[in-house]
Amino acid sequence: MHFPQNRRYNSFVGYFKEKYGSRLQKIVVDAGFTCPNRDGTISTGGCTFCNNDAFHPSYSTSEKAIIDQLNEGIVFHQKRYRNASNYLAYFQSYSNTYASLDILENRYSQAISHPLVAGIVIGTRPDCIDNDKLSLLKDIAKEKIVIVEYGVESIYNHTLKRINRGHTIECAIETINKTAEYGLDQGAHFIFGLPGESKEQMLNYAQLINNLPLNSVKFHQLQIVKNTPIEEEYNKKHEDFIEMSLDEYIDFFIDFLEILKPEIHIERFAGEVPPRFVNKTPWGKIRNVELIRLLEKRLEERDTFQGARFSR
């Protein structure tokens, strides 16, 4: 099986380099949105695992203008990735379609007006989009790259309820199918290790993902972030949480990759949260680039690849 950059899985970075000829670096933007499970529309308090500060770069705050966030983010990333010359404005914080069309159009337009911004990535919830918003994104996609990233997190409604997600898996499936009808690139986000789920149940995510019109998927291991409801739940019901060492997680993820459709691009298979935000760091202070190296090494050792056990 051939994948970009001679990897054993379908890397999202490799896909972008193959399609656009260069790396496209995401610049996180905080456009001042919130979520319906925070403002009382559905619930309050947000998802039990969420503390936005834990994955919020210092240059990205809603008090700054979007253009200023982009300029500071570009300077930040030019120091880390010297070969990055084009950027994607990543509307990441909270639900970035949760506003009126006028507000959305204004904030997206500010981002795509930047001369170095090739497009936008919109992180949102599957219950915060409709036909008018999809039409707006489709219009932008005629000139710029547009990717919609849906936070789905789990395929099980009992888990979604437990983490105060506020939407169902049926809602997510309907929204992802509707987004595909508009011809938009889209990805989804899932978390491995949510309370009450076994490894077998987590492996079942692949079957649903394989049947959805997704271009990419982002996976994170559950990290217990300080001062969140899930930290309190973890302390009280520790036995409900599956914890894997780094080696165990990599082998688990390879088992998952083997049954995942090879056409799906893997954007991330594990997450990084600054140590000061998490309850503990069972894997140590390991960076994402090292995680990727370990995954590729283990794939070679097992002589396997994404889709090795996938059947159409």
d(CA 47, CA 49): 6
Given this model, what pLDDT does residue 55 score?
64
Given this model, what pLDDT does residue 54 score?
62
Given this model, what pLDDT does residue 311 score?
86
Which mean pLDDT values do the consecutive 10-residue runs of the chain (312 residues) have? 84 78 85 93 92 71 90 83 79 95 97 95 97 98 96 98 97 98 97 97 98 96 91 93 94 98 94 78 83 95 96 82
286: in domain:
yes
276: in domain:
yes
87: in domain:
yes
216: in domain:
yes
The parent domain of residue 128 ranges over 4-302
Given this model, what pLDDT does residue 84 score?
66
Q: In the chain, where does DSSP find H-type helix?
A: 12-20, 66-80, 101-112, 131-140, 157-162, 169-181, 199-203, 205-210, 229-236, 246-258, 288-302
CATH number at 285 reads 3.20.20.70
39: in domain:
yes
308: in domain:
no
Contacts of 124 (CB under 8 A, 6+ apart): 95, 96, 97, 98, 148, 149, 150, 151
0.85 surpassed by pTM = yes
262: in domain:
yes
* C-alpha of 147 from chain center: 11
309: in domain:
no
Given this model, what pLDDT does residue 264 score?
95
What are the tokens at 33? Answer: 């949105």
Contacts of 213 (CB under 8 A, 6+ apart): 176, 177, 179, 180, 186
Q: Give the phi and the psi of residue 90 in degrees, each rounded to 5.
A: -100, 100
Give the total number of structural domains in the chain.
1
What are the tokens at 20? Answer: 């656009």
